[in-house]
Structure 1
Amino acid sequence: MKIPSEKEKFSERLKIAISVKYPNLLKNSEIAIKFNLLHPNEPITQQAVYKWLNGLAIPAPDKIQTLSKWLNVKPEWLRYGIREGDKVDIFDETLISLISTLSENQKRAILQLILSFRD
């Protein structure tokens, strides 16, 4: 069993955050355009997005800040995920375990449902 690299783990979190905000998947070019409209520094290319989404690169901290604001997630989660020292209670562990067995479409539906409670 292959252990995912930090870049691959980042990629998965980024894909999740994008799919929650945009259930109808975006093309790399669309992601780059939307990102560049919000990012105050140098723009990114479609190739950079490709690298992020395919576990080949992790963006610089300023880009993670922009991604987190755009996708409405914490920058720490986007970059590092749940770390070993983070507090996760038994209820959270149970939810994570149950959700991890669902299909991608079912996970998206659950995420949309949870997000509807935030409004």
Structure 2
Amino acid sequence: MKTEQDAFSERLRAGLRQAGMSESPAELVRLLARFGGEPVSQQAVSGWLNGRAMPRQANLRALARMLSIEPQQLQFGDDKRVREARGEWKVNPHDQLAIEAFLKLPAAQRKLVRNLIEELARHVAPGKAAKKPR
């Protein structure tokens, strides 16, 4: 008989696969904070992924936000896929081409680009927008 933790683990792993994300506890610990979660250890995340434990509500909500699903769906399951509405972005043609090129890259190269963007974003002063490209 499947436990609640086992069922949650299956839903979490399926959500990560659908989102094209890694099942790496180290990466999930890092991302969890960016999505409003509380600090946890890699061992705690490993427990979630392997059906040994359930996250606290704050981390459940952060995981759901990360996966663009409703927290209730992640916690309890549901046959319907409920997605959060994502806002439309106004993107200039040069940026659109860059995004399309990015999406064609192999996963390892996309990860490098994401890491570069995160590093560059750390050096932008809060409240200051980046200069427009010429």
Structure 2-normalised TM-score?
A: 0.54
2:9, 2:50 within 8 Å by CA — same for their partners in 1? Answer: yes
**Cα deviations by residue, 1:40-64 (Å, 9 ceiling, x for unpaired):** 5x31111111000000111111111
Report which of the two has the higher share of helix: 1
Aligned to 1:8: 6
2:72 aligned with 1:68, yes or no?
no
1:77 to 58, 73, 79: 73
Which secondary structure state, in structure 1, belongs to the residue aligned with residue 28 of structure 2? helix
1:50 to 35, 46, 53: 46
Taking only the aligned residue pairs, the percentage that are identical comes to 30
Which secondary structure state, in structure 2, belongs to the residue aligned with residue 56 of structure 1? coil
Aligned to 1:30: 27
Greater RCO, CA 8 A, separation 6+: 1
Distance (Å, rounded) in 2 between the aligned partners of 1:70 and 1:22: 11
Q: Where does structure 1 lack aligned partners over 5 or more consecutive residues?
A: 87-119
Root mean square deviation of aligned Cα: 1.9
Structure 1-normalised TM-score?
A: 0.61
User: Number of aligned pairs?
Assistant: 80
